[in-house]
């Protein structure tokens, strides 16, 4: 899903501003929301891919103006309404006003048909897929070529897991890319490692 959230690898935003001693929480309510979302996952009300996708589904202006934990709150509230845990009317009554939720859930997809395993040292290409639903493939590696350097244990395929669709678990591969292949003539020479699900990769023939 090419949404406003997929900013990794994008250019033109200037230097990343950060503080090495920034607090994890700035307000008490942030601690409560973080705890509630973790507890909801533990109870099985929703999974982490559903949680991530509910943030991705936020209306773009809302997403860009919201803080980190406001996005967590929006995702938690949206999923609790969608799962029938509470209603929007109850939220708005407690908030004493409107309570913005994420946009409706769209279709997902299952594993790539006839997918095959890859080997360490193999050169692969990332599929040029444009997915309307949840996807854990950053846009800047789409269609790019890299080398597999490591394999991680199988995990539920996120494109399906975020949408309640059955899919086989599959491994992720640590794929090594050359920075110049990702951003030609605009970066220093470096190696970039990305964890890529099996269904996102294809053999180079």
Residue with tokens 């803080």: 67
Any idea of the CA torsion for 85, 82, 169, 166, to the nearest 10 degrees? 110
Whether the predicted pLDDT of 185 surpasses 90 = no
Record: fold of 123-203: SH3 type barrels. (2.30.30)
Q: Identify the band that residue 1 occupies on the pLDDT scale cut at 50, 70 and 90.
A: low
Are the C-beta atoms of residues 167 and 110 closer than 8 Å to each other?
Answer: yes
For the record, the structure tokens of 93 come out as 């009554």
pLDDT at 168: 93
The architecture in CATH of the region 1-103 reads: Orthogonal Bundle (1.10)
Whether the predicted pLDDT of 7 surpasses 70 = no
> Do you know the residue count of the chain?
205
pTM for this predicted structure = 0.89
pLDDT at 188: 84
Q: Identify the band that residue 9 occupies on the pLDDT scale cut at 50, 70 and 90.
A: low
**β-bridge partners, 203:** 124
- Region 52-68: what's the mean pLDDT? 95
pLDDT digits (tens, 9 = 90+) for 13-57: 777 788 888 899 999 999 999 999 999 999 999 999 999 999 999
Backbone angles phi, psi at 177, to 5 degrees: -115, 150
Burial of 41 (0-12, 13-18, 19+ CB in 10 A): middle
pLDDT digits (tens, 9 = 90+) for 131-182: 889 999 999 999 999 999 999 999 999 999 999 999 899 999 999 999 999 9
Contacts of 47 (CB under 8 A, 6+ apart): 41, 156, 161, 162
Are the C-beta atoms of residues 159 and 108 closer than 8 Å to each other?
Answer: yes
Domain edges within the chain: 1-103, 123-203
Long-range contacts of 140-143 (CB under 8 A, 24+ apart): 140/8, 140/9, 140/10, 140/182, 140/183, 141/9, 141/175, 141/177, 141/182, 141/194, 141/196
pLDDT digits (tens, 9 = 90+) for 85-141: 999 999 999 999 999 999 999 999 999 998 889 999 999 999 998 888 999 999 999
Contacts of 179 (CB under 8 A, 6+ apart): 187, 188, 189, 190, 191, 192
Are the C-beta atoms of residues 112 and 131 closer than 8 Å to each other?
Answer: no
Are the C-beta atoms of residues 77 and 91 closer than 8 Å to each other?
Answer: yes
| Degrees, nearest 5: CA angle 28-73-9 | 105
Contacts of 75 (CB under 8 A, 6+ apart): 37, 51, 52, 54, 55, 58, 102
pLDDT at 4: 73
Whether the predicted pLDDT of 61 surpasses 90 = yes
pLDDT at 22: 87
């Amino acid at each position: 899903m090419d949404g406003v959230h997929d900013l990794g690898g994008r250019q033109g935003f200037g230097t990343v501003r950060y503080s090495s001693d920034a607090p994890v929480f700035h307000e008490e309510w942030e601690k409560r929301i973080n705890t509630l979302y973790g507890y909801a996952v533990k109870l099985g009300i929703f999974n982490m891919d559903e949680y991530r996708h509910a943030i991705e589904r936020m209306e773009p202006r809302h997403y860009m103006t919201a803080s980190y934990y406001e996005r967590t709150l929006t995702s938690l509230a949206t999923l609790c309404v969608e799962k029938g845990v509470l209603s929007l009317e109850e939220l708005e009554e407690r908030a004493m006003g409107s309570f913005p939720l994420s946009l409706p859930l769209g279709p997902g997809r299952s594993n790539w048909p006839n997918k095959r395993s890859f080997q360490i040292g193999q050169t692969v290409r990332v599929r040029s897929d444009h997915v309307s639903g949840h996807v854990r493939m950053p846009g800047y590696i789409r269609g790019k070529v890299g080398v597999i350097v490591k394999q991680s244990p199988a995990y539920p395929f996120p494109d399906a897991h975020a949408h309640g669709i059955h899919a086989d678990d599959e491994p992720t591969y640590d794929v090594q890319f050359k920075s110049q292949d990702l951003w030609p003539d605009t970066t220093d020479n470096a190696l970039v490692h990305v964890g890529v699900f099996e269904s996102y990769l294809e053999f180079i023939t």
